Amino acid sequence: MIAKYFKDFDKRIIKKKKAGVKTGEKKGKAPARASVDLRLLKEHLSRVIPSNLKIDSVRPIDTAGFSPDGVDLVVYDTFCQDIIDIMGGYVPYELVYGVFHVIQDLNKDCLIDVLNKISTAKKLNMYAAGPEEGEKTHIPSFVIASSTKYQLNELKNDIINYYLSKNIEHQYELDILMIMHKGIVVKNWREKRSFIALETNEDTFMWFFILMNEYLDMKKDRTIDFRKYIKKEVVYNEY
């Protein structure tokens, strides 16, 4: 039932590039390269996330004005129909439920880059929240890669080694990294600096859907105060 729906899910978000001409002794065309189409990905993910949430290519922002670079898609509570227009193209941190980073071909350089972007994005509200707000909550981060030459155990070890070498605190680590039609690397929240790699093959999107929604379906104890987003200093006449 669920497996059947997600069996060919990855094919729906793929855009094939035109075949190129091979170089070398033998002439002929190289096979067409496939890549994740961000528009198609957004369209199809919107159908499998909680219906009260929306996914779009917008930028998150906190009350301090911090907006991290490199986020491809944001899942958020719409709050009101014109929330993005009201916020000038941004979505307030308090309404964000998750962020996505999309990679076409995952290699060592791309891995370092995306792990750095995730750590930065998870610092949303880090300097904006006051002591009265208690413990800060970090936004779940998901990575979708269309392909990689990595073996899953090697990928998991490189993720752990990166965090160890940079001495990054565990709350700024990625939550789920998915390689289409291959497998998933999931953060193990029961232990610090711990990840689980699963070779899920054709069931990859099914398990990504299940694990992703465990994060997106959590109730957020965040209230939004739009006054904190107004940086205009004006003294109005009061009568």
| Segment 171-205, tens digit of pLDDT | 999 999 999 999 999 999 888 889 999 999 999 99
- Distance in angstroms (rounded) separating the CA atoms of residues 146 and 67: 26
What are the strands, taking DSSP E only, across the chain? Answer: 14-16, 34-36, 53-56, 59-61, 73-77, 90-92, 96-106, 141-148, 176-179, 183-187, 195-198
**DSSP H helical segments within the chain, as ranges?**
2-6, 9-12, 38-45, 83-86, 108-121, 152-166, 204-216
For 204-219, the pLDDT digits (tens) are: 999 999 999 999 998 7
Question: Cα–Cα distance between 115 and 195 in angstroms, integer?
Answer: 14
Q: Which residues contact 148 (CB under 8 A, 6 or more apart)?
A: 105, 106, 107, 155, 179, 182
Q: Is the pLDDT of residue 1 over 60?
A: yes
**Closest of 163, 164, 170, 197 to residue 183, by C-alpha:** 197
pLDDT digits (tens, 9 = 90+) for 39-84: 999 999 999 999 999 999 999 999 999 999 999 999 999 999 999 9
What are 124-176's pLDDT values in tens digits?
998 876 655 545 678 999 999 999 999 999 999 999 999 999 999 999 999 99
